[in-house]
Structure 1
Amino acid sequence: MIKMTNNAVNAVKHAISTSAQPASGLRITVEAGGCAGFKYMMGLADEPKPDDTVIEHDGVKLFVDNNSHEQLAGTTVDFVVALEGSGFTFENPNSRSSCSCGKSFG
């Protein structure tokens, strides 16, 4: 199961409410690339794809494809505001290594 902090839920709700395109949730996938081997990809989505698992947190739907779901199992998604910049972070127990930006893992 993928978890979301309250900050992450609120950030997604805000993004959905201000989106110019229709959106009902957030799609999270894992793709090859990044400086550590795999990278997290995120974006608003209107509906799930046929191979997506749908996870709901406090009214926010996450759409995760079956290939990414295994790599994201147990991950906590947060949204942090810091002097260096704001954004989503991932605490992924399946990663053996990660890059300093926190957007990719190995």
Structure 2
Amino acid sequence: MSVKIMSLTDAAVARINEIIEESGKPVVGVRVGVRNAGCAGMAYTLDYVSEPVPGDDHVEEKGVNVYIEPKATLFLLGTVMDHEESMLSAGFTFKNPNQTGACGCGDSVQLQPADLKALAEARAHAHP
């Protein structure tokens, strides 16, 4: 059993499908990445994908295609992408086991690369 880079909630799948339908251009999915930003150090990025970028990781879940920038893969390993709405805001959220902190305003996060050795050991113990 391999480690899944990212999974999506039903709400995220529904919102991505809406975004694709409303895009007004040919879109095959979305691309998730990270960039240096904000007071905590990093921010998530999300863009349309009209055709897959060679080298991107690919996750297909419930008919939705998500492509992940290679430089972001280790930072996103095990992440659950969700879409949440409240009276004041709506947006995608990322429940990321590699997050070590966040800024007070929520615009940026502190991320560390996933510990591949720990993941391998956990898998070995789970499936002797």
| Structure showing the higher helix proportion among its residues | 2
Which structure is richer in relative contact order (CA contacts within 8 A, separation 6 or more)?
1
- Which sections of structure 2, spanning at least 5 residues, go unmatched? 111-128
Per the normalisation by structure 1, the TM-score is 0.93
Counterpart check, 1:12 vs 2:46: no
1:94 to 94, 98, 104: 98
- Of the three residues 34, 57, 60, the one matched with 1:53 is 57
After superposing the two structures, state which structure 1 stretch, 96-105 or 27-36, moved more. 96-105
Name the structure where strand makes up a greater proportion of residues. 1
Q: Work out whether 1:80 is the aligned partner of 2:74.
A: no
1:28 aligned to 2:35? no
Distance in 2 of aligned mates of 1:68 and 1:38: 11
Percentage of matched positions with identical amino acids: 34
1:101 and 1:25 mapped to 2: Cα distance? 29
Give the number of aligned pairs. 106
Shift of 1:103: 4.1
Task: Specify the code of the residue in structure 1 equivalent to 2:30.
Answer: L
1:32–1:56 Cα change, 3 Å:
same
Instruction: Give, as a single letter, the amino acid of the residue that structure 2 aligns with 1:53.
Output: D
Q: 1:101 offset after TM fit, Å?
A: 4.5
Structure 1, unaligned stretches of length 5 or more?
Answer: none
Greater Rg over alpha carbons, structure: 2
- Aligned partners of 2:104 and 2:84: how far apart in 1? 15
The letter for the 2-side match of 1:15 is I
- TM-score, normalising length: structure 2: 0.78
